[in-house]
Structure 1
Amino acid sequence: MAHSTTRTTTAPETDDRFEVPLRGVAVDPETRCRHWDDAVDVVALRFACCEAYYPCYACHAEATDHEPEQWPTDRFDEPAVLCGACREALTVEAYLDCEDNCPACGTAFNPGCREHHHLYFER
């Protein structure tokens, strides 16, 4: 007898250590995850599809059963990037202009993340 499984587009419970809805795999207190855990990997990004923050696209893939939606350009003035060091929610505009340092606390962000902006932000 075949059985069906119910799937949802809702990610697992959010991490209550953060004031924003943040989800991911093996997330540490500064938003590093199983996939990206260098000292400078302290950014979580908000996905438009589920309005939740994830440390990376791989966390989104593992935590959901839907395709990711990039943050739309007409919402670049809304908070969509979280600094894991100081927990400041940044607009996409502020993040893209910050030159790899949090504008609120000065913590270094991974400059390699620039190579993945197309996964998170519309252009």
Structure 2
Amino acid sequence: MPSFVEGIPVYGGDAWTRCKHYHQDIDIIAIKHVCCNQYYPCHLCHEELADHPAVPWPASRFDDEAVLCGSCGREITVTAYLATADCPNCQAAFNPGCKTHASLYFETD
């Protein structure tokens, strides 16, 4: 059963998009997985809850909204997410450690 952030279902997370794997105060994003068009807080949640392997978001679609801020519920583009340390809408800080494993979520070189 998903939780909801501003009406958007998030699978595996709470109302702030925090999950059992990553649950610090700054773990407040969920990433839409291109393979199922559903938001998950992390790759481990997708692995546990989805019935298929994860597929990285294609670079050709980085201008699509595919990252959800768990603080304000704003969907932002992959490009905007990768270029900032906080939400461009509410300025809530994002966990900088998430970007160290961006290749699990986004197509990279």
TM-score, normalised relative to structure 2: 0.92
Q: Matched residues in 1 for 2:27 and 2:5: separation?
A: 17
Question: Aligned pairs, how many?
Answer: 108
- 8 Å CA contact 2:3–2:15 kept in 1: the answer is no
Unaligned runs of 5+ in 1: 1-12
Unaligned runs of 5+ in 2: none
Residue 85 in 1 paired to residue 76 in 2? no
What percent identity do the matched residue pairs reach? Answer: 46
Residue 34 in 1 paired to residue 16 in 2? no
Which residue does 1:48 correspond to in 2? 34
Q: What is the 5 A alignment of 1:1-123?
A: 13-24=1-12, 27-98=13-84, 100-123=85-108
SS of aligned partner of 1:21: strand
Q: Matched residues in 2 for 1:39 and 1:87: separation?
A: 16
Q: Matched residues in 1 for 2:93 and 2:7: separation?
A: 21
- Deviation by residue 1:31-65 (Cα, 9 ceiling, x = unmatched): 00011000000000011110001000000011012
How much has 1:15 moved relative to structure 2? 2.9
Query: Larger % of strand: which?
Result: 2
Shift in alpha-carbon separation, 1:17–1:106, aligned structure 2, 3 A = closer
How much has 1:84 moved relative to structure 2? 0.1
1:30 partner letter: W
Larger radius of gyration: 1
Runs of 4+ in structure 1 over 2 Å off: 13-21
